[in-house]
């Protein structure tokens, strides 16, 4: 008995060791021209002159090495491996000014880490506004030991993404502008499936597929449905779940699912794979924007390919599965009462320039002069590294102690639905309120809420409803500097981010930053030591830190501000009339008159 157990154990250890390999990638990052919706050619960021970008498929336990050569002539670059914890390798997480310097044009950077997780992930640039330029793709970690490993025959990866006809370089300045004081986000022109449209996925009958689904878009959440098929959810954002039947999903940007789909025995008909934008996230719906798309589960290439309607207006049709009810397969229980609680209020508002920003507790994330990880490492003492002040006043930095249970309460006093992502962790979602009216946003009330689930679902990206709230819990078991931010790229640009400085003492003791990273900072002209302001002498002196703009004078309402700006701008530019987009929601984005300056 004993011997056979040992034998089995040894065999399984051996097989794991045999599987683990090093996978190396050599990636030239350049512009390429594409036209996936057939409506407009545009430039996207390609890898080795290829777009769609290469999907990464590795096995659990593999070491991966990415040599990234930034051959974009005028743009910085970086890569974040979304959902991978970078446990022990914080410097490989990707966000510039958080854990690294941006990779300047002409420079190379190597990401090198071990993949100890399973499931459905993706990679994307974390440079300002860059991933909506096509710089994003799946990263799948195969796991022969998954509990459902013997329940499927074939594996597929399906991406959904909003699609813009313009590069972000053109969209961002219009978005973050005094001409857009309400912060209306650029509305995409299309909804892609597998970076294409009208796609037929040839499948076999009587076959079970493991399908990795992900929304790699910048703004639009999508409803997902396969005509006349249901499926089982087995994984959400890399967390295995109890098999859970569903027939529709609601997938926000950055969220992933893996589902098991058993195909029908007959091959006489094709079925629609239907994706529909959540149009409530768009301020305007231009006449030519098709919200619903059909692609096909193709049983028979000669049978008709019909478009299918999923009526999102009718509540019966749109009962998308509520991810709050998922149960992790490991049945990890609710973490205990928190050692530390962070409460943040989300608002969107205008600052003195008239631009619309997003705030956690009245602070709009403004990148520090020195990447925060380098501040951790250059602090004079552990004690100093544990002082949140040195990370600056505009980075929303919270210091967490190693192994503490942390509770994050997020009160959304904004009328939008926001998908929040935490780097370095999955978290338990223990409460999510309903949606509330604009004039009545509801904060989480610790004295009055439904009981927390005994076995809460976990994932790394979760949405909060308009004017509602969420409560997350996690364990500070991953020393590092991690961003927590809205994954709507436009909102991240508006500053909807905070910084978790997790276990800085352990981070300084057990991790280090490769010398090549410091060399790249020098090449990029970014200081790599000192506090948030780059002060290496006195870490408490933040003179010269990057700061947010001044607030509006007290008592100013948005309408008042708009009126003021209109009059100032009209006077300055001698423009008699300006049609204000975002004030009047019936005006589509293309109608903003941008005076040429």
| Contact call for residue 396 and ligand NAG (CB under 6 A) | no
Beta carbon nearer to Cu ion, 91 or 358: 358
Rg (CA), the chain: 24
Stretch that binds ligand NAG, among 157-165, 220-228, 315-323, 522-530 (CB under 6 A): 522-530
Spatial separation of the C-alpha atoms in residues 470 and 466, rounded to whole Å: 11
Partner whose binding site includes residue 87, from ligand NAG, Cu ion, none (CB under 5 to 8 Å by kind)? ligand NAG
| Contact call for residue 548 and ligand NAG (CB under 6 A) | no
| Shortest Cβ 29–ligand NAG spacing (Å) | 9
Inter-residue contact 592 to 581 (CB < 8 Å): yes
* 164-203 residues near ligand NAG, rule: CB under 6 A: 197-198
Q: Which of 76, 177, 396, 412 binds ligand NAG (CB under 6 A)?
A: 76
| Shortest Cβ 499–Cu ion spacing (Å) | 17
Buried b / exposed e across 158-196, counting CB within 10 Å, b at 16+? Answer: bbbbbbbebbbeebbebbbbbbbbbbbbbbbbbbbbbbe
Strand 136-142 to 119-124 pairing: antiparallel
Beta carbon nearer to Cu ion, 406 or 488: 488
Partner whose binding site includes residue 528, from Cu ion, ligand NAG, none (CB under 5 to 8 Å by kind)? none
Inter-residue contact 209 to 196 (CB < 8 Å): no
Inter-residue contact 36 to 197 (CB < 8 Å): yes
Residue among 414, 517, 428, 530 at smallest CA distance from 465: 414
Partner whose binding site includes residue 55, from ligand NAG, Cu ion, none (CB under 5 to 8 Å by kind)? none
| Shortest Cβ 346–ligand NAG spacing (Å) | 10
Partner whose binding site includes residue 212, from Cu ion, ligand NAG, none (CB under 5 to 8 Å by kind)? none
| Shortest Cβ 118–Cu ion spacing (Å) | 28
The residue assigned the tokens 């407009």 is 40
Q: Name the H helices within 444-557.
A: 489-493, 504-510, 515-524
Q: Which of 42, 69, 491, 517 binds Cu ion (CB under 5 A)?
A: 491
* 362-381 residues near ligand NAG, rule: CB under 6 A: 362
- Write each residue from 117 to 146 as x if it is in contact with ligand NAG (CB under 6 A), else as -, in one continuous string: xx------------------------x-xx
Residue among 235, 463, 461, 472 at smallest CA distance from 330: 235
Partner whose binding site includes residue 197, from ligand NAG, Cu ion, none (CB under 5 to 8 Å by kind)? ligand NAG
Spatial separation of the C-alpha atoms in residues 364 and 375, rounded to whole Å: 20
Beta carbon nearer to ligand NAG, 48 or 511: 48
Beta carbon nearer to Cu ion, 37 or 493: 493
Taking CA 434 as the corner, what is the angle to CA 442 and CA 426, rounded to the nearest 5 degrees?
95
| Contact call for residue 497 and Cu ion (CB under 5 A) | no
| Contact call for residue 205 and ligand NAG (CB under 6 A) | yes
Residue among 230, 252, 228, 246 at smallest CA distance from 310: 228
| Contact call for residue 307 and ligand NAG (CB under 6 A) | yes
Q: In what side-by-side order are the strands of the sheet with 56-59?
A: 56-59, 136-142, 119-124, 80-82
The residue assigned the tokens 């506004």 is 129
| Contact call for residue 421 and Cu ion (CB under 5 A) | no
Inter-residue contact 469 to 443 (CB < 8 Å): yes
Inter-residue contact 533 to 392 (CB < 8 Å): yes
| Contact call for residue 485 and Cu ion (CB under 5 A) | no
| Shortest Cβ 586–ligand NAG spacing (Å) | 18
| Contact call for residue 441 and ligand NAG (CB under 6 A) | no
| Shortest Cβ 532–ligand NAG spacing (Å) | 14
Inter-residue contact 239 to 459 (CB < 8 Å): yes
| Contact call for residue 309 and ligand NAG (CB under 6 A) | yes
Q: Which of 320, 464, 488, 562 binds Cu ion (CB under 5 A)?
A: 488
- Write each residue from 16 to 55 as x if it is in contact with ligand NAG (CB under 6 A), else as -, in one continuous string: ----------x-x--------xx---------x-------
Beta carbon nearer to ligand NAG, 206 or 536: 206
* 208-247 residues near ligand NAG, rule: CB under 6 A: none
Q: At 311, list the tokens.
A: 């009526």
- State which residue has the least CB distance to ligand NAG: 145
| Contact call for residue 435 and ligand NAG (CB under 6 A) | no
| Contact call for residue 458 and Cu ion (CB under 5 A) | no
Spatial separation of the C-alpha atoms in residues 349 and 548, rounded to whole Å: 12
* 479-508 residues near ligand NAG, rule: CB under 6 A: none
Q: Name the H helices within 106-235.
A: 168-175
Strand 136-142 to 461-464 pairing: unpaired
Residue among 396, 566, 513 at smallest CA distance from 100: 513
User: Cα(first)–Cα(last) distance of the chain, in Å?
Assistant: 82
Partner whose binding site includes residue 219, from ligand NAG, Cu ion, none (CB under 5 to 8 Å by kind)? none
Partner whose binding site includes residue 34, from ligand NAG, Cu ion, none (CB under 5 to 8 Å by kind)? none
> In the 3-class helix/strand/coil scheme, how is 534-574 assigned residue by residue?
CCCCCCCCCCCCCCCCCECCCCCCHHHHHHHHHHHHHHHHC
Beta carbon nearer to Cu ion, 299 or 490: 490
Other Cβ atoms less than 10 A from the Cβ of 588: the count is 17
Inter-residue contact 80 to 126 (CB < 8 Å): yes
| Contact call for residue 206 and ligand NAG (CB under 6 A) | yes
Inter-residue contact 576 to 274 (CB < 8 Å): no
- Write each residue from 274 to 293 as x if it is in contact with ligand NAG (CB under 6 A), else as -, in one continuous string: -----------------xx-
| Contact call for residue 418 and Cu ion (CB under 5 A) | yes
Question: Would you tell me which residues interact with Cu ion (CB under 5 A)?
Answer: 418, 486, 488, 491
Contacts with ligand NAG by CB under 6 A lie at 26, 28, 37-38, 48, 60, 69, 74-76, 85, 87, 102, 104, 117-118, 143, 145-146, 197-198, 205-206, 265, 267, 291-292, 294, 307, 309, 345, 361-362, 425, 477-478, 524-526
């Amino acid at each position: 008995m004993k011997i056979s157990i040992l034998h089995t154990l040894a065999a399984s250890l051996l097989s794991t060791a045999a599987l683990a390999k090093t996978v190396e990638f050599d990636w030239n990052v350049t512009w390429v021209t594409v036209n996936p919706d057939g409506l407009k050619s545009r430039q996207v960021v390609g890898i080795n002159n290829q777009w769609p970008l290469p999907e990464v498929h590795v096995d659990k336990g593999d070491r991966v090495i990415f040599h990234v050569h930034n051959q974009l002539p005028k743009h910085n670059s970086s890569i974040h491996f979304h959902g991978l914890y970078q446990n022990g390798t914080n410097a490989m997480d990707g966000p510039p000014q958080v854990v690294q310097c941006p990779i300047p044009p002409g420079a190379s950077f190597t990401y090198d880490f071990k993949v100890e997780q399973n499931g459905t992930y993706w990679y994307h640039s974390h440079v300002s506004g860059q991933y909506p330029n096509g710089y994003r793709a799946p990263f799948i970690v195969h796991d022969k030991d998954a509990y459902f490993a013997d329940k499927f025959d074939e594996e597929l990866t399906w991406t959904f993404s909003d699609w813009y006809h313009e590069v972000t370089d053109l969209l961002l300045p219009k978005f973050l502008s005094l001409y857009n004081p309400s912060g209306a986000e650029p509305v995409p022109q299309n909804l892609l499936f597998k970076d294409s449209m009208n796609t037929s996925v040839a499948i076999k009958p009587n076959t079970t597929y493991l399908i990795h689904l992900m929304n790699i878009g910048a703004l639009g959440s999508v409803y997902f449905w396969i005509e006349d098929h249901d499926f089982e959810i087995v994984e959400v954002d890399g967390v295995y779940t109890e098999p859970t039947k569903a027939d529709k999903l609601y997938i926000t940007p950055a969220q992933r699912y893996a589902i098991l789909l058993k195909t029908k025995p007959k091959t006489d008909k094709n079925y629609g794979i239907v994706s529909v934008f959540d149009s409530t996230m768009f301020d305007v719906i231009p006449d030519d924007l098709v919200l619903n798309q059909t692609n096909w589960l193709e049983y028979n290439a000669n049978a008709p390919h019909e478009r299918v309607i999923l009526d999102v207006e009718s509540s019966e049709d749109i009962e998308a599965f509520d991810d709050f009810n998922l149960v992790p397969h490991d049945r990890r229980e609710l973490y205990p009462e928190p050692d530390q609680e962070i409460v943040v209020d989300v608002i969107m508002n205008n600052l003195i320039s008239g631009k619309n920003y997003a705030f956690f507790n009245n602070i709009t994330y403004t990148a520090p002069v020195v990447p925060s990880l380098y501040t951790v490492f250059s602090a004079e003492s552990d004690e100093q590294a544990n002082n949140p002040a040195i990370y600056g006043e505009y980075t929303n930095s919270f210091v967490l102690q190693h192994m503490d249970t942390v509770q994050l309460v997020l009160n959304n006093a904004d009328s939008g639905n926001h998908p929040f992502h935490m780097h370095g962790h999955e978290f338990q979602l223990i409460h999510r309120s309903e949606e509330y009216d604009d004039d009545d946003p509801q904060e989480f009330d610790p004295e009055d809420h439904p009981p927390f689930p005994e076995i809460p679902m976990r994932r790394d990206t979760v949405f909060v409803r308009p004017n509602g709230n969420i409560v997350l819990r996690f364990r500070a078991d991953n020393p590092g500097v991690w961003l927590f931010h809205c994954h709507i790229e436009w909102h991240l640009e508006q500053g909807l981010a905070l910084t978790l400085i997790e276990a800085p003492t352990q981070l300084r003791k057990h991790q280090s930053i490769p010398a090549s990273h410091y060399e790249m900072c020098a090449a990029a002209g970014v200081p790599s030591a000192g506090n948030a302001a780059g002060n290496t002498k006195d870490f408490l002196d933040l003179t010269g830190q990057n700061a947010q703009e001044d607030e509006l004078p007290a008592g100013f309402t948005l309408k008042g501000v708009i009126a003021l700006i209109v009059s100032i701008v009209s006077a300055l530019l001698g423009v008699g009339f300006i049609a204000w987009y975002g004030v009047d929601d019936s005006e589509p984005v293309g109608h903003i008159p941008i005076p040429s300056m």
